[in-house]
Amino acid sequence: NQPLQPHIALFPSAGMGHLTPFLRVAAMLDAHNVNVTLITPQPTLSAAESDTIDSFFAIHPQIKRLDFHVIPYNPPTPDDPFFIQWEATNRSLHLLPPLISSLSPPLTAFFSDFSMATNMIPITDRLGIPNFILLTTSARFLSVMAYSPFLSSPEISNTNMNHITIPGLTSNIPKSSIPPPLLRPGKSLFASTLASNILSFSKVKGILLNSFEFFESETITAFNNDQVQQGFPPVLPIGPISPYGLVQDHHPLPWLNEQPAKSVLYVSFGSRTALSKDQIKALAEGLDRSGHRFLWVLKGGKVDKEDKEELDELLGHSFLERTRNKGIVVKGWVSQEDILQHPAVGGFVSHCGWNSVMEAALHGVPVLAWPLHGDQRINAELVEKSGLGLWEREWGWGGEKLIDGEEIAEKIKVVMEDEVLRGKACNVGKEARRAVQKDGGSEKVLAQVINSLKP
Ligand code: BUP
């Protein structure tokens, strides 16, 4: 007799950085024979999200798809389109109970995005089932989130204090690494979403973390010993959350196949940020000057559907001609997972979105951290501290100042040529893979969570 399996609904928020870990966890649960329903907010903001969702269900027909129609929201003041979509999703949550009421077998748990924690609690309470948050950032940034209600107080925001101290953590958080909207009392949707949800975290059953003990051991322990904040739910490291073998556009791969081992620098600033035009030109010069091969995924706008500029316009024809045999520049979606695990890739210039950091960790690829906003400076610190890569603090938040080509070239050379750095990154990779293999720390945590949810 097979024991009854749980039925878990997963509910991501807008943006590939949020969707990706949910899809991966859905596939992991499915591999553990769990019944999975994936709630897919519609319409998606980016083409990458809708394409990825379609491909995901094509290869996982046993996972149930439940489209959730988001009522459009127009904020009184302009804001980031992805944060507007988070707000719209929250404002539409009254549509969820009727949608899930007829699911069979009945749900035994929800794994939802942190940005809807407060509004999910009454829904899961009414159903009498636990709600877990599947966190899309680092444990260290979670510690900043835990203190976010205090960050805009005059004692912190207006004083010369240059760091904050978080109980249980030996290293302070530099104020310069905290996203500026969290230090300003104001109306940014990012800050208000964090502030309105963090207070509900104490009511969730657990926080599933895309991280692993080796990478963030001190912070995970501090949370679980109730040192960071009394009454915080268990922080459960299940990462690096493994890929699910999605077949995507593989077009840079034939080119990579022809390059020598560890010779190519992969450059990507994630799915939702574009560098300024001047910074794009300076980065192109840096790549050219470094002399290293490169594969650059270039974005010219925040939302892919609106990103219409041609490579020629962004980079100039002469750069593309000059570097024709050295590198390729791609516009559009690539399979980053396939790239990072390709033997030809020897380094990664990354904005340090948390998924990207965990993917680089899993494959032991040295990172040159170039954080742009949000949690990315805190994540960059972890990249540096773990040995996964380098971070040039002086570059500030991306866009704050223009970093010139010469400086960029110098750092690229270090990340591609320093054997000590490569060795350390390789070690991070070994630890990451150990965590997710059978009997590894993260795999055991996931198995325990699943067992605890068996009806
Ligand atoms: Br771009 C790009 N292909 O072309 P992050 C990204 N990705 O597979 P973000 C691709 O999207 P946040 C591409 O591997 C990662 O899993 C990438 O998430 C994948 O950054 C994900 O790294 C991007 O967390 O999100 O999207 O900027 O704002 O949450 O940091």
Closest by alpha carbon to 8, among 455, 355, 443? 455
Given the residues 18, 351, 363, 373, the one annotated as active site: 18
Asked if residue 271 has its Cβ within 6 Å of ligand 1, the reply is yes
Per residue in 411-423, pLDDT tens? 999 999 999 999 9
Per residue in 301-341, pLDDT tens? 766 766 667 788 888 888 888 898 899 999 888 889 989 99
Asked if residue 200 has its Cβ within 6 Å of ligand 1, the reply is no
Query: Which pTM does this prediction carry?
Result: 0.96
Query: If you search the block for the tokens 């994540």, which residue do you land on?
Result: 379
Tell me: pLDDT of 382 over 60.
yes
Return d(Cα 237, Cα 235) in angstroms, integer: 7
Return d(Cα 319, Cα 308) in angstroms, integer: 19
Take atom 21 of ligand 1 and give the residue whose Cα is closest: 17
**SS3 category, 294:** strand
Whether 18 is catalytic: yes
- Mean of per-residue pLDDT scores for the chain: 93
What distances in angstroms separate CA 266 from CA 287, 309, 319, 326, one per listed residue? Answer: 11, 21, 17, 12
| Residues whose CB falls within 8 Å of the CB of residue 10, separated by 6 or more in sequence, listed in order | 22, 25, 26, 29, 36, 37, 38, 39, 110, 111, 112, 134
Q: What is the pLDDT of residue 317?
A: 83
Take atom 7 of ligand 1 and give the residue whose Cα is closest: 336
Tell me: pLDDT of 41 over 60.
yes
| Residues whose CB falls within 8 Å of the CB of residue 55, separated by 6 or more in sequence, listed in order | 246, 247, 248
Mean local confidence (pLDDT), 233-254: 81
Given the residues 7, 80, 113, 373, the one annotated as active site: 113
Whether 113 is catalytic: yes
Take residue 79 and report the two structure tokens written for it: 């804001």
